[in-house]
Amino acid sequence: MTVPVSVGVVGGGRMGAGIAQVFAALGAAVTIAEAADQAAALGRVETGLARAHERGKLDEDPAAILARVTTVAGPTDLPADLELVVEAVPEIPSLKVEVLALIDKTVSASTVIASNTSSISIAELGAALSDPSRFIGMHFFNPVPASTLVEIVRAPATSAAVVEHVREWVSLLGKTEVLVNDSPGFATSRLGVCLGLEAIRMLEEGVADAESIDRAMELGYKHPMGPLRSTDLVGLDVRLAIAEHLASTLGDRFTPPRLLRDKVARGELGRKSGKGFHDWEKK
């Protein structure tokens, strides 16, 4: 197994910065293409490295790892000779298609192109590429450095060699894979959203309060986090977007409950806004 020498990440937000951090810590030179604020993207990597250093998780000085990370303004500024590019822009199909087409035009024909999408069909996104056989889903979890899972999503066109490369890289990152065939929501988002939506409906119907619903799953079923707390961490807006996509592809059972829509409209987005199904300002 060989460590990738050069990796590109498009979108330096919460997920992209985490993905850049773990590949840089592995020894790769990482280029982040970030359209809005390159300094903020680099700052997120720096903060993540400082946190990992405090926890004794790095083998190297954080400054030396950070020195391997550079930023550019957009996908067309990426170096051509990358081994892997991971797309991590927001979960908007048209935006991802546009960004993937630009990545495809910029990088060399041998570069593996991956998307960190949580729910959008890899086959559908792969249609934006001249050669969809080099395209795959690499679904990292939040926070990327601490999370041990990567869901690898294989579309019908994805080549076996690309699947093997990605499996090796996931293993080198010290993470564990699940390999799934392309379908809406894959395995993780489909099940996670399904449980979250039912918990929201139960809250709507007055079955129990949020704390009780979460505690029921945490203590009764040994889930590390209840479905409403988990929705708060992911972001209610993110969950709503995924639920809408799954409702349009898998049917009514994923139709978002009114309470979820109302909370998003009020700006109650979960931990990031201070309030969701739980109050995060008190914690």
Ligand X SMILES: NC(=O)c1ccc[n+]([C@@H]2O[C@H](COP(=O)([O-])OP(=O)(O)OC[C@H]3O[C@@H](n4cnc5c(N)ncnc54)[C@H](O)[C@@H]3O)[C@@H](O)[C@H]2O)c1
Site residues (vs ligand X, CB under 6 A): 10-16, 33-36, 74, 88-91, 95, 99, 116-118, 140-142, 234, 238
Cα 73 to its chain centre, rounded Å, is 20
Nearest residue to ligand X, scored by beta-carbon proximity: 13
DSSP label at residue 150:
E
Cis peptide before 224 (omega within 30 of 0): no
Residue (83 or 151) nearer to ligand X, CB: 151
> In angstroms, what is the minimal distance from the CB of 126 to ligand X?
15
**Could you tell me which residues come within 8 angstroms of residue 125 by beta carbon, excluding any fewer than 6 positions away?**
93, 96, 97, 100, 115, 117, 135
Positive or negative: CA dihedral 27, 32, 37, 38: positive
Angle between helices 38-54 and 14-26 (to 10 degrees): 60
Nearer to ligand X, 14 or 201 (CB): 14
Q: How far apart are CA 269 and CA 227, in angstroms?
A: 15
Return the number of the residue (91 or 214) whose C-beta is nearest ligand X.
91
Least CB distance from residue 59 to ligand X, whole Å? 26
Q: How far is the CB of 75 from ligand X (least distance, A)?
A: 6
**Residue 133 Cβ vs ligand X, minimum distance, rounded to whole Å:** 22
Structure tokens at 283: 């914690």
Give whichever of 39 and 63 is closer to ligand X, judged by the CB atom: 39
Q: Which is nearer to ligand X, 6 or 117 (CB)?
A: 117
β-pairing, 29-33 with 149-154? unpaired
Report the Cα–Cα distance between both ends of the chain, in Å, rounded.
Answer: 43
Cβ proximity to ligand X: between 18 and 62 the closer is 18
Measured from the CB of residue 205, what is the shortest distance to ligand X in angstroms?
Answer: 27
Minimum CB–partner distance for residue 57 and ligand X (Å): 20
Distance CA 177, CA 193 (A): 20
